[in-house]
Structure 1
Amino acid sequence: MAIGFYVDVTRCTGCRACEVACKDKNRLSGGMRFRNAHTYSVGSFPDVRAFSCTFSCNHCDEPACVANCPTGAMFKSEDGAVLHQDDVCIGCKTCVNSCPYQVPVIDEEQGISRKCDSCIAIRTASGQPACVAGCPNRALDFGEIEDLKAKYGEDLVNETTVHPDPSMTGPSLLIKVKDAATTGEPTEVAW
């Protein structure tokens, strides 16, 4: 079984409601985030295009964070989610340095790494992750990958010009793209 996120780049506006919902649910302070939204421009005047995309843990088939964690704090659950055991983590940053998606972050207050757990407690109670529920444009969804493909179509990808090569970890991520996200050299738009 593989579970993961669906991101519709044609609907994402970079509003960051997903970030806020995640920060609120996880009680994250300061700049700590488990989900990040970014907006990019491609091209040059007068042919400029833009796209926004939101990023989080991809609950990979072969997660580098799990493979390289020296204590077993990072692990893959039965349903395919990549989870973290705070009480086993030693804060060595190996997972942070291993993840090609830059997902785990160091919680300086606690001295450990932390990451998205796909809102496992909410999902266990039959709910959706906070980021999915908080997206006003319905650009996010979460579930079994095969179910998401059936719901959103087979023309989905797991790589854009701003995502690393998926062959490294096999991300459980499906993206509905728009042309600007697949061609050209993207430049992040500062907010």
Structure 2
Amino acid sequence: MSVNHKVGFVFRQENCVGCQACTVACQIHNELPENHRFRKVDRYEVEHKDGSKDVWLSHSCMHCENPACLMVCPTKAYHTREDGIVVLDREKCDGCGLCTEACPYSAVSIREDDGKADKCNMCVELLDRGMQPACVSGCPVECLKTGNLNETLKKPSASKEGIGYTDSITKPNMVIIKERA
């Protein structure tokens, strides 16, 4: 993997309005069952001098540099692409669930319809054609995108920490932009 081109999600947390359009776009694109989601939007109530304020965190698989799911999978159903995207080969999955227990971000789940693990693959089929993932295209306020994380982290407003999100031993590939656009 090129150290200079690590792809990940870039999220402008202060711009997110919690509409969950990213979740719906992902669900439609991936033809997921109604009760199954790759992208989730969590609400946090944060106290400010003017009272409380809702802050949202849109998240999915973090495509970690040290993916716990990959490390525990007995069937070797996971692999990391050169650009850092962690992909699951569902054909190899035996449904043991070790990956769901290992993921610190609850990004992997077992589907009820076939008993196998499933997760966000950052819409690699779209990225490989020069397009953006469904969640990014679906965001009406453009607070979510993909990008070269090494370049993004050079910006003073970029961080590996946000409300509801923190860096961990798995080295997640998501960056929070802390200033409003």
By the TM > 0.5 criterion, same fold? yes
Judge conservation of contact 2:75–2:92 (CA < 8 Å) in 1: yes
Q: Deviations over 1:29-50 (max 9, x none)?
A: 1210000012221239972122
Judge conservation of contact 2:57–2:163 (CA < 8 Å) in 1: no
Cα distance in structure 1, aligned partners of 2:161 and 2:50: 27
Judge conservation of contact 2:55–2:163 (CA < 8 Å) in 1: no
Question: How large is the RMSD of aligned CA atoms in angstroms?
Answer: 1.8
Which SS does the other structure have where 1:39 is aligned?
strand
Judge conservation of contact 2:13–2:162 (CA < 8 Å) in 1: no
Q: Quick one: percent identity of the two aligned structures?
A: 34
Q: Deviations over 1:42-93 (max 9, x none)?
A: 2399721221110111111111111111111111112210000011000111
Judge conservation of contact 1:142–1:148 (CA < 8 Å) in 2: no
Q: 1:118 maps to what in 2? A: 122
Q: Which amino acid aligns with 1:163?
A: Y
Judge conservation of contact 1:72–1:88 (CA < 8 Å) in 2: yes
Give me the TM-score of the superposition, normalised by structure 1.
0.85
Q: 1:176 maps to what in 2? A: 177
Q: Which amino acid aligns with 1:157?
A: S
Q: 1:51 maps to what in 2? A: 55
Which SS does the other structure have where 1:87 is aligned?
coil
Cα distance in structure 2, aligned partners of 1:171 and 1:19: 20
Cα distance in structure 2, aligned partners of 1:12 and 1:51: 8
Q: 1:16 maps to what in 2? A: 20
User: Which consecutive residues of structure 1, in runs of 5 or more, have no partner in the other structure?
Assistant: 179-191
Judge conservation of contact 2:153–2:159 (CA < 8 Å) in 1: no
Q: Which amino acid aligns with 1:56?
A: S
Q: 1:159 maps to what in 2? A: 161
Query: Cα distance 1:17–1:163, how it changes in 2: closer, same or farther (>3 A)?
Result: same
Which SS does the other structure have where 1:171 is aligned?
coil
Query: Cα distance 1:8–1:45, how it changes in 2: closer, same or farther (>3 A)?
Result: closer
Give me the TM-score of the superposition, normalised by structure 2.
0.90
Larger fraction in helix: 1
The alignment of Structure 1 onto Structure 2 pairs a total of residues equal to: 175
